[in-house]
Chains A and B, each alone.
Chain A
Amino acid sequence: MAILLIAEHDNQSLKAATLNTLGAARRLEGEIHVLVAGAGCAAAGQAAAQFEGVAKVLLCDAPQYAERGAENLAELVRGLAANYSHVLVPASAEGKNLLPRVAALCGMAQVSDVVGIESADIFVRPIYAGNALATVKSIDPIKFLSIRTTAFEAVGVAGTAVAVETIAAGPELGLCKLVGRELTRSERPELGAAKIIVSGGRGLGSGDNYRRVLEPLADKLGAALGASRAAVDAGFVPNDFQVGQTGKIVAPQLYLAVGISGAIQHLAGMKDSRVIVAINKDPDAPIFQVADYGLVADLFEAAPALTQAI
């Protein structure tokens, strides 16, 4: 049977998380169909047809999918799911919002945050803030999987494009309306896709300090900016900067934790980074237990000095 992957896109192109999810889908047996649902999303459908491993694109272009609300999308996917052995989404805010709704409509379980695929029905997922890894077997006929994108390589583009099939839209349920979006604008790389992340915690003391100390460092390194929950709660930076168990899960080549103590919940979001650097004035801070390179220093001296030296 085939595998259905629900693409995340901006009508023009696929979001990076979808490419990692495709990487996960390729570990399963069966052809991969990518659903691109949206309003005015034909370009994204064409884009999806280019990627390695994709056998077919299902394009559903209708006004009820413009806002990407879970209610209408779940109804659409429910109608398609019976033809598939697996339904995959990235474990992003959108995927997390959507997939449990689809699974419940089908009366089946979901496996969240899959980090390993052992066979068609056996999956590995972190529990307890990543302090344990559970191997679970799903006995449902359709496996609904949200994929932790840091655990799978993104696929590249293939030489040729596959067919894009237009499918009929589902109903407009009228349950929910988008009032507005307030998205953080930034020239910097996306947290989830960045090779280097500079992350700041409560130790920065204020939003002004955060910007003054960390932005130049991030600029020099071409890095994305992240933060601990404490820094977000204190209003230093917007919510979408939060790294951790209940924020974003990241695994860059280099993660620089500045003025972050290293609470379990924070570590859950970054401990799979390839190289971790911690700058903290407290030699007993737990962050040093996971850091490859630790510098016990006042961040207000060390971070600008590092920026200068690079």
Chain B
Amino acid sequence: MKVLVPVKRVLDYNVKVRVRADGSGVDLANVKMGMNPFDEIAVEEAMRLKEAGVVSEVVAVSCGVAASAEVLRTAMAIGADRGILVQSDADLQPLAVARLLKAVCDREGPALVICGKQAIDDDANQTGQMLAALLGWSQATFASKVTIADGQATVVREVDGGLETLAVRLPAVITTDLRLNEPRYATLPNIMKAKKKPLDTLDPAGLGVDVSQRLITLKVVEPAKRSAGILVSDVAQLLEKLKNEAKVI
């Protein structure tokens, strides 16, 4: 069984973004970029399924600018067998990404797609669900445990009130939550090996996908800052402030 893992190149999660003064967006020049953390979890899960003998091939796919090839190399250093870059300089929104991924699925025929639950830049939390819809497959989002047997996936999901377990028929789309696993670090020998693994480059036109924008960003601003508070000296003063100044208790 083949697994497809979409991986997105995003800014590093430790970087605090700066909003451009002219409101045109955030400043991504010279900031550290890397693989979306949820996608690292997705690649790790695919590797564990491969190591357990459930999966035979792991294919990483990234949609975006040429530099997205870096995150494909990272995925291959973790263990993915090969990479596919759908190269585009366009602002790829979730529906466009889902359509590109569907076209890749049509060519590759995976039995399972493991996406991240959200990308930490745009925080849309849409792509996996959209892909499942376009493919007509079942979906198991926000997964914290995945077991695969007999053509079905049993997935424990993180929901608002706690946990929910679903049995979904394969093929299916699963999206990862934080506690699914702890991704391994790529070792130096594996990073070297990854450089030799196959990486194909496709483009939206070749896949017959229109990636035009449906959402037009009019402006991007910084949210209102909280004014700095004060340090209180002890519990008594804290309680006094909460009662008499803030009036919250």
Contact = CB atoms under 8 A, between A and B. Distances in A.
B167 A177 contact: yes
Interface string B113-149: 0000110111111111111111001111110100000
Nearest to B144: A239
A196 B242 CA distance: 12
A133 B94 contact: no
Contacts of A245: 120, 123
B162 A94 contact: no
B161 A183 contact: yes
A52 B95 CA distance: 34
A279 to B, nearest CB: 8
A291 interface: yes
B165 A133 contact: no
A275 interface: yes
Interface in A81-127: 92-94, 96-105, 107-113, 122, 126-127
B246 A292 contact: yes
A110 B130 CA distance: 10
A295 interface: yes
Interface in A249-279: 253-254, 264-265, 271, 274-277
Interface residues of A, number: 88
Interface stretch (B50-58, B69-77, B184-192, B212-220): B212-220
A306 B238 contact: yes
Interface in B202-244: 213-223, 226, 228-232, 234-236, 238-239, 241-242
Contacts of A265: 13
B87 interface: no
A309 interface: yes
Interface in B1-33: 11, 13, 16-17, 19, 26
Nearest to A240: B162
Contacts of B177: 239, 246
Contact of A97 (B129, B144, B161): B129
A300 B148 CA distance: 44
B193 interface: no
Contacts, number: 254
A293 B248 contact: no
A158 interface: no
Determine chain A's interface SS by DSSP, over half rule. Answer: mixed
A107 B239 CA distance: 54
Nearest to A292: B229
B228 A289 contact: yes
Nearest to B132: A101
A58 B163 CA distance: 29
B164 interface: yes
Given A177-B167, A239-B163, A100 B223 contact: no
B178 interface: yes
A174 B137 CA distance: 11
Contact of B238 (A139, A181, A271, A277): A277
Interface string A11-38: 0000000000000000000000000000
Given A94-B159, A101-B129, A277-B242, A127 B123 contact: yes
Interface residues of B, number: 79
A96 B128 CA distance: 11
B150 interface: no
A299 B164 CA distance: 34
A180 interface: yes
Interface stretch (A68-76, A159-167, A205-213): A68-76
Nearest to B233: A295
A225 interface: no
B214 A108 contact: yes
Contact of A126 (B13, B168, B223, B235): B223
B88 interface: no
Contacts of A246: 38, 117-118, 120, 177-178
A238 B137 CA distance: 30
Given A176-B140, A181-B165, A275-B248, A138 B214 contact: yes
Given A94-B160, A254-B249, A295-B235, A128 B123 contact: yes
Closest 6 CB pairs of A and B: A104-B130, A109-B214, A175-B138, A100-B129, A292-B229, A100-B126
16 contacts: A74-B133, A100-B129, A104-B98, A104-B133, A137-B215, A139-B215, A140-B214, A177-B166, A182-B165, A183-B163, A240-B160, A293-B230, A294-B232, A295-B235, A306-B238, A309-B236
Interface of B: 11, 13, 16-17, 19, 26, 38, 93-95, 98, 117-118, 120-134, 137-142, 144, 154, 158-169, 172, 177-179, 213-223, 226, 228-232, 234-236, 238-239, 241-242, 246, 248-249
